[in-house]
Amino acid sequence: MDKIYDLIIIGGGAAGLSAGIYAGRAKLDTLIVEKGNGGGQAATTLDIVNYPGVRKTTGPKLMEEMKLQAEDFGVEFLKTEVLDMDLTKDVKDLKTDNGLLRTRAIIIATGASPRALGFKGEQEFKGRGVGYCSTCDGEFFKDLEVLVVGAGYAAAEEAIYLTRFAKKVIVIAREPEFTCAKSIGDKVKANPKIEVRFNTEVIEAKGDELLRSVRLINNITKEEYDYYPPKEDGTFGIFVFVGYEPKTKSFKNHVNMDEYGYIITDENMKTDVKGVYAAGDLRPKSLRQIVTAVADGAIAATDAEKYITEEKERLGIKDIEVKKVLKEEVKKESKIENKAGRSSLLNEALKNQLRPIFEKIERKVILASVVDANNAKSIELKEFILDLVELGENLEAKILNKGEDLAFEKQINADKFPVVALLNDKNEYSGVKFHGVPGGHELNSFVLAIYNYGGPGQAIDQNILKDIKAIDKKVNIKVGVSLSCTYCPDVVVAAQRIAIENPNVETEMIDLSNFEDIKNKYKLMSVPAIIINDKDVYFGAKKINEILDMVNR
CATH number at residue 430: 3.40.30.80
pLDDT at position 95: 94
Residues 308 and 447 in one domain: no
Together in a domain, 436 and 479: yes
Catalytic annotation present for 136: yes
Q: Which residues of 443-474 are buried (b: 16+ CB within 10 A; e: fewer)?
A: bbbbbbbbbbbbeebeebeeebeebbeebeee
- Residue 371 lies in domain: 334-551
Of the candidates 549, 440, 517, 425, which has an alpha carbon nearest to the alpha carbon of residue 484? 440
Given the residues 6, 47, 90, 133, the one annotated as active site = 133
> 154 and 98: one domain?
no
Domain count of the fold of the chain? 3
Q: Does residue 150 share a domain with residue 284?
A: no
Phi, psi of 259 (to 5 degrees): -65, -15
Closest among 222, 317, 328, 260 to 112, alpha carbons compared: 260
DSSP notation for 108-175: E---EEEPP---BTTTTTBTTTEES-HHHHGGGGTTSEEEEE-SSHHHHHHHHHHTTT-SEEEEE-SS
Residue that terminates a domain, selected from 287, 315, 343: 315
Catalytic residue chosen out of the listed positions 6, 29, 137, 372? 137
User: Do the domain assignments include residue 476?
Assistant: yes
Q: What distance in Å separates the CA atoms of residue 75 and residue 79, rounded to the nearest whole number?
A: 13
Residue 329 lies in a domain: no
Q: Decide: 172 and 202 in contact? Cβ < 8 Å.
A: yes
Extract the runs of DSSP E, i.e. beta strands, from 152-298: 168-172, 194-197, 200-207, 211-218, 224-227, 237-240, 244-246, 276-278
Maximum C-alpha span of the chain:
75
Residue 539 lies in a domain: yes
- CATH code of the domain in which 300 resides: 3.50.50.60
Q: How far apart are CA 258 and CA 265, in angstroms?
A: 10
Task: Please identify, among 214, 240, 266, the residue that sits at the C-terminal boundary of a domain.
Answer: 240
Residues 176 and 284 grouped into a single domain: no
Going by their DSSP bridges, the two strands 30-34 and 76-79 should be labelled as parallel
User: Which residues of the chain are modeled with pLDDT < 50?
Assistant: 1, 321-340
- The whole-number pLDDT of residue 132 equals 92
Catalytic residue among 2, 47, 97, 136: 136
Do residues 270 and 351 both lie within one domain?
no
Is 324 inside any structural domain?
Answer: no
Q: Which of 219, 240, 261 is the last residue of a domain?
A: 240
**Domain for residue 364, yes or no?**
yes
Q: In this predicted structure, what is the pLDDT of residue 328?
A: 44
Whether residues 389 and 537 fall in one domain: yes
For the whole model, what pTM was predicted? 0.79
Q: What is the pLDDT of residue 345?
A: 82
485 labelled catalytic = no
Phi, psi of 85 (to 5 degrees): -160, 160
Do 350 and 439 lie in one domain? The reply is yes
Q: Letter for the amino acid at 420? A: V
Pairing of the two strands 92-96 and 82-86 = antiparallel
Rounded CA separation 44/545 (Å)? 25
Question: Are 454 and 341 members of one domain?
Answer: yes
- Residues 391 and 468 placed together within one structural domain of the fold: yes
- Does the annotation mark 137 as catalytic? yes
Q: Positive or negative CA dihedral for 258, 18, 43, 457?
A: negative
Q: CA-CA distance, 78 to 459, in Å (whole number)?
A: 12
H or E element at residue 469: helix 462-469
What integer pLDDT is reported at residue 341 of this predicted model?
56
pLDDT of residue 382: 96
Distance CA 263, CA 258 (A): 7
Give yes or no for a contact between 381 and 418, defined as CB atoms under 8 angstroms apart. yes
CA distance 212 to 516: 20
Q: Is 216 among the domain residues?
A: yes
Instruction: Assess whether 198 and 85 both reside in one domain.
Output: no
Does 19 lie in the same domain as 41? yes
At residue 347, the pLDDT reads 84
Is 458 a member of any domain? yes
Question: How far, in Å, CA of 145 to CA of 486, rounded?
Answer: 24
- Among candidates 260, 49, 295, which has minimal Cα distance to 153? 49
Q: Is residue 482 part of a domain?
A: yes
Helix (H, G, I), strand (E, B) or coil at 373: coil
